[in-house]
Amino acid sequence: MSRTPVRRCQECGSDKLIRDYENAEIVCANCGFVVQEKIADTGPEWRAFNDEQKAKRTRVGAPLTYTIHDKGLSTVIDWRRLPNTRHISPDQAAQIYNLRKWQRRVRLS
């Protein structure tokens, strides 16, 4: 989903555009028209003061997807990868099963 960068307002033709990161919009400073919505801040979410700090900082996680209602930000409960799963009681195993079942239902709704 690549978008060409917006350079001018479609309403008044002004090139005075303001990025509003709080509302994820690009707004025309001249007429107030919302030129673009749902913009993403692709800048780093950290500060680095030297090369070592810059090397340690990396982005993590999957990208957002608009094909799922929660944009792909849900948690996956995988009991097979938990440490010491052989030592859980039948009640705990049933609870994990129910959590995974409801997690699948909620994610697909």
- What is the fold of 8-41? N-terminal domain of TfIIb (2.20.25)
* Distances in whole angstroms, Cα of residue 9 to Cα of each of 1, 19, 37, 60: 21, 13, 13, 34
pLDDT, residue 19, reads 86
pTM of structure: 0.39
Question: Half-sphere exposure of residue 38, counting CA atoms within 13 Å on the CB side?
Answer: 7
- Integer Cα distance of 30 and 33 in angstroms: 8
pLDDT, residue 83, reads 63
Say if CB 36 and CB 17 are below 8 A apart: no
**Tens digits of residue pLDDT in 40-72:** 766 666 667 788 877 777 655 666 666 677 777
pLDDT of 98 > 50? The answer is: yes
- The boundaries of every CATH 2.20.25.10 domain in the chain are 8-41
Query: Which two three-digit tokens encode residue 54?
Result: 């810059």
